Amino acid sequence: MELHITCIPGDGIGPEIVRETKKVLDKVAHKYGHKMIYKDILMGGASIDVHGVPLTEEAIADAKAADAVLMGSIGGNTTTSPWYKLPPEKRPEAGLLAMRKALNLFANLRPAVLYDELAAACPLKEEISKAGFDMLIMRELTGGLYFGERRTIEENGVRKAIDTLTYDENEIRRIAIKGFDIARKRRKKVTSVDKANVLDSSRLWRKVVEEVAKDYPDVTLEHMLVDNCAMQLVKDPAQFDVILTENMFGDILSDEASMVTGSIGMLASASLNDTKFGLYEPSHGSAPDIAGKDIANPIATVLSAAMMLRYSFDLDEEADAIEAAVKKVLQDGFRTGDIMSEGCTRVGCTEMGDLLAERI
Ligand X SMILES: CC(C)[C@H](C(=O)O)[C@@H](O)C(=O)O
Least spacing, CB of residue 207 vs a second copy, in Å: 8
Least spacing, CB of residue 97 vs ligand X, in Å: 6
Q: Which of 248, 290, 340, 344 binds a second copy (CB under 8 A)?
A: 248
Distance CA 339, CA 264 (A): 9
Partner touching 80 among ligand X, a second copy, none, CB below 5 to 8 Å by kind: none
CA-based nearest residue to 24, from 36, 8, 41: 36
* Residues in binding site for Mg(2+): 227, 251, 255
Count of residues of this chain found to bind a second copy when the rule CB under 8 A is applied = 62
- Which one, 143 or 348, has the nearer CB to a second copy? 143
* Residues in binding site: 100, 110, 139, 227, 251, 255, 285-297
Indicate if the alpha-carbon torsion angle 71, 78, 108, 360 is positive or negative: positive
Partner touching 199 among a second copy, ligand X, none, CB below 5 to 8 Å by kind: a second copy
* Pairing outcome for strands 35-40 and 2-10: parallel
Per DSSP (E only), the strands in 200-241 are: 220-225
Question: Is-catalytic flag, 178?
Answer: no
- For 156-183, letters b (16+ CB in 10 Å) and e give eeeeeeeeebebeeebbebbbbbbbebb
CA-based nearest residue to 282, from 260, 313, 306: 306
Return the C-alpha torsion angle 88, 89, 92, 95, nearest 10: 150
Question: Is-catalytic flag, 200?
Answer: no
Residues 193-212 that bind a second copy (CB under 8 A): 195-201, 203-205, 208
Partner touching 145 among ligand X, a second copy, none, CB below 5 to 8 Å by kind: a second copy
Question: Is-catalytic flag, 218?
Answer: no
Residues 6-25 that bind a second copy (CB under 8 A): none
If binding is defined by CB under 8 A, does position 296 make contact with a second copy?
A: no
CA-based nearest residue to 170, from 212, 217, 225: 212
Question: Is-catalytic flag, 241?
Answer: no
Which residues, 6 or more positions from 285, have their beta carbon under 8 angstroms from its beta carbon? Answer: 12, 73, 75
CA-based nearest residue to 16, from 96, 68, 55, 72: 72
Partner touching 165 among ligand X, a second copy, none, CB below 5 to 8 Å by kind: a second copy
Catalytic site positions: 146, 195, 227, 251, 255
Residues found near a second copy in the complex (CB under 8 A)? 78, 88, 91, 93, 97, 122-126, 128, 145-146, 150-152, 155, 158-170, 195-201, 203-205, 208, 226-228, 230-235, 248-249, 251-256, 258-260, 264
